[in-house]
Amino acid sequence: MKVSVVLPTYNERENIGGLIGTLLGILGDAVEIIVVDDNSPDGTSEVVERIAGEERRVKLVRRLHERGLRSAIATGIAHSGGDAIAWMDCDLSMPPEVVPGLLRALETSDIAVGSRYVRGGGDVGHSPLARLFSRAINLMASLFLGFSIRDYTSGFVVARRPVFTDIQLVGDYGEYCIDFLYRARKRGFRVVEVPYRCVPRRHGQSKTGTNAVELMRRGVKYITTIVRLRFSSWGR
């Protein structure tokens, strides 16, 4: 199975080279890496461009007039050619060594999710406030949408290509993952969770939110998505 790994970047110059190198070493010739960079001012795209010039398995898509996590992932999917498509954060908080386990999980599923909230998983990569926020959002999602998925906001996903002919990514930041996983399960796709431990980012600043105001702003979108999905299922 050939896998396309989509890496959405914004100001990840110090992390991206190490992540690409580790993924290439782990996944071998059956991988293509697609970096979608939103015109990072720190020179992330230049780092990737140099790597791509020497390594045929690496592609760079540089977006000059568009930004956003969900749309960057969608752009990478559109440029991919693998039988399976993966995406993950580029700050090394999601260990690339977990990707082979996610791929193995596709032997019996359609979507494999790196999960912090199943046995064996954990989160030491975020502040206590951010962890509390994530736990609260995922508890609400489970209560409203079902406990068959524990980490609705994972953002660490591998899925078979046919999934994307049926489901398109919708949303802005982390809420896209809630929408994607819920709709996939409702459509009958098999979703499994593989434990991983989220660790502190190596370099740079977190984009998740560093204070209560930023977390609450994101929380409104998460909650709105959860309620919309729940009510739409009632309507059906």
Whether pLDDT at 95 is above 70: yes
pLDDT for 235 equals 41
pLDDT for 62 equals 96
pLDDT band at residue 233, thresholds of 50, 70 and 90?
low
- pLDDT tens digits, 97-137: 999 999 999 999 999 999 999 999 999 988 888 899 999 99
Direct distance between the N- and C-terminal alpha carbons of the chain, in angstroms, rounded to an integer:
36
pLDDT for 218 equals 76
- pLDDT tens digits, 40-60: 999 999 999 999 999 999 999
In whole angstroms, give the CA distance from residue 218 to residue 187.
27
Write down how long the chain is.
236
CA 127 from chain center: how many Å? 19
Angle at 153 between CA 149 and CA 154, to 5 degrees: 85
Q: What percent of the chain has pLDDT over 90?
A: 82
pLDDT for 100 equals 97
Name the residue with higher pLDDT: 219 or 165.
165
| 74-78, 91-95, 143-147, 206-210: least confident range | 206-210
- CATH of span 3-235: 3.90.550.10
The DSSP-derived string for 13-59 is: HHHHHHHHHHHHHHHGGGEEEEEEE---TTSHHHHHHHHHHH-TTEE
